[in-house]
Chain A
Amino acid sequence: MIEITLKVNGQMHRVSVEPGENLLRTLREKIGTRGVKQSCDYGGCGACTVIANGKTVYSCMTLSAKMSDAEITTVEGLETTHGLDPLQTLFMEKWALQCGFCTPGILLSSKCLLDSNPNPSEGEIKEALAGHVCRCTGYIKIIEAVREAAELRSRK
């Protein structure tokens, strides 16, 4: 086992991981952030997406041992003392989710996009979300919600 340190949603965690363990398992089973979803488990669906050091990655493809000292944001980290992130509120209002299983990953990719590109075109939104599979919404509502979140941010 290897001792690693992870900063998850602002909180420091010291955990023991196996050499071949992936970040998905460490986050779900050892840190308890169950918003990180396991689905295809080999980088085809996007459900396990987290933000690591400011960039979106598939946690199923990331070795935990390699991530020592990384700063991780999961969907649990989007909510602040002021309440839900506007993206989360807009996803609800705009019906950008139905069953919700893929939503945590999509929210994190959307947040990462808006943080680096506050006014994305539809093409840029699609490119940023290309690594996610949603079997309920048909994607249009998701794109609309992200677009509206960008507009909301620009008005503030």
Chain B
Amino acid sequence: MPETSVVLPVFKPQRYVRAKTPEEVLSIMQTYREKARIVGGNTFLNELAKRGLLSDVEVLLDIEPLELHHLKDEGNRVVIGASTKIEDLAHSPSVKNNAALTALAEAAQNVHPVQIRNLATVGGCISTGVPFLDVPVALLALNAEVRVVAKSGEKSMPIDRYLDMSLTDYMADKFVKELVVTLPRGSYSSCFRKFGLTGFDYALVNVAARTSLDINGICGDASIAVGGKGVELSRMKEAEAVLTGKPLNENTIGAASQKASDTAKVEDDIPLRGSAEYKKHIVKVMVNRALAETATQLGVKNIGHD
């Protein structure tokens, strides 16, 4: 039998624009809408193009001249420009050496390999509409704020709202300028954990967690985010509530992990990445490991995990 070949629509943008001002970016996006795309690190471009998904793109918008490469430590917060490379985020002393932000550096370090970390950008990874990447999970757990440029001026929005929009819609009226991560007051620790089929793979499940502990050993604030290839990217509010106001120990962490597993929305795609039951189990194990690590960092002794 002759093989049937599928002819995919060709990616052939006609213009490449190095935008010099934010106004120029917005004006092109509003004129061309879906036919204009901002290029960040372009690590997804070739793959999407080869699958015939970018055949309608006419204009590539390079925002490099806007010089959004900054990673500023402002004492009580860290400001990360949209064009910051994942590799720079992974090794930034302000991020990796601050216990409340470590999860973000760990997530960046878990993007493999280095050739991709050297290209991919922070703005790109929250704007491509790909729901299983590592850095967005950490930003979600750290309550990052996204500062966007719109026609009416600059405005901030919480990362969860931005991700909801970027995962479902094409945004022609705004683009990311920078991310702001504010440092909470008190004793905090954060952690990122990833489970993939190989060390190189996209995450099947990725988890970022941050917990606080007061002088009486009570957790005042807990934040847990999960995502991955089979798991809906979201905060685990009910699991967080299990920990708030309680001591951090094996029992409370075990109960929070169970709650995360019960409430996580998972896809049941057995041929590709496993059954829903399997993924829920992995969510429980990974949340447990991430929480146990934050507790250990905060000085809680004898915390074991699965």
Contact with B along A96-139 (1 / 0, CB 8 A): 00000000000001000000000000000001101110000000
Sort A-B residue pairs by CB-CB distance and give the 7 closest, nearest first. A131-B113, A19-B16, A42-B47, A55-B118, A130-B113, A65-B16, A19-B13
9 A/B residue pairs, CB under 8 Å, sorted by A: A20-B12, A20-B60, A58-B119, A61-B41, A61-B43, A65-B60, A109-B114, A130-B112, A132-B113
Contacting pair A57 B118 (CB below 8 A): yes
Please name the residue on chain B nearest to A68 by beta carbon.
B18
Known: A57-B115, A130-B199, A132-B113. 20 other contacts (CB 8 A): A19-B13, A19-B15, A20-B12, A20-B16, A20-B57, A41-B46, A42-B46, A42-B47, A49-B115, A56-B114, A60-B46, A61-B42, A63-B39, A63-B62, A65-B60, A65-B62, A66-B39, A66-B64, A109-B114, A130-B113
Contacting pair A58 B115 (CB below 8 A): yes
On A, residues with C-beta under 8 Å from B are 2, 18-20, 22, 41-43, 46, 49, 55-58, 60-63, 65-66, 109, 127-128, 130-132
Contacting pair B14 A57 (CB below 8 A): no
Contacting pair B60 A63 (CB below 8 A): yes
Least CB distance, A102 to chain B, in whole angstroms: 13
Contact partners of B62 in chain A: CB under 8 A: 63, 65-66
Least CB distance, A58 to chain B, in whole angstroms: 5
Q: Is the interface of A mostly helix, strand, loop or mixed?
A: mixed
Q: Once the chains are docked, how many angstroms separate the CA of A46 from the CA of B118?
A: 14
Contact with A along B24-53 (1 / 0, CB 8 A): 000000000000000101110111011000
Contact partners of B47 in chain A: CB under 8 A: 42-43
Partner of A61, one of B14, B45, B87: B45
Interface check B11, CB cutoff 8 A: yes
Q: How many A-B contacts if CB must be within 8 Å? A: 83
Q: How large is the interface on B (under 10, 10 to 19, 20 to 34, 35 or more residues)?
A: 20 to 34
Q: Once the chains are docked, how many angstroms separate the CA of A99 from the CA of B265?
A: 46
For chain B, residues 254 to 304, give those with C-beta under 8 angstroms from any C-beta of chain A.
none
Contact partners of A109 in chain B: CB under 8 A: 114-115
Contact partners of A18 in chain B: CB under 8 A: 12
Q: Once the chains are docked, how many angstroms separate the CA of A57 from the CA of B43?
A: 10
Q: Interface centre among B11, B64, B118, B200, by most A CB within 10 Å?
A: B118
Contacting pair A63 B114 (CB below 8 A): no
Given A55-B118, A57-B119, A65-B16, A46–B46 Cβ distance below 8 Å? no
Contact partners of A20 in chain B: CB under 8 A: 11-13, 16, 45, 49, 57, 60
Interface check B116, CB cutoff 8 A: yes
Contacting pair B60 A131 (CB below 8 A): no
Contacting pair B60 A62 (CB below 8 A): no
Q: Once the chains are docked, how many angstroms separate the CA of A60 from the CA of B115?
A: 11
Please name the residue on chain A nearest to B112 by beta carbon.
A130
Contacting pair A19 B14 (CB below 8 A): yes
Least CB distance, B39 to chain A, in whole angstroms: 6
Please name the residue on chain B nearest to A133 by beta carbon.
B200
Contact partners of B16 in chain A: CB under 8 A: 2, 19-20, 63, 65
Contact partners of B11 in chain A: CB under 8 A: 20
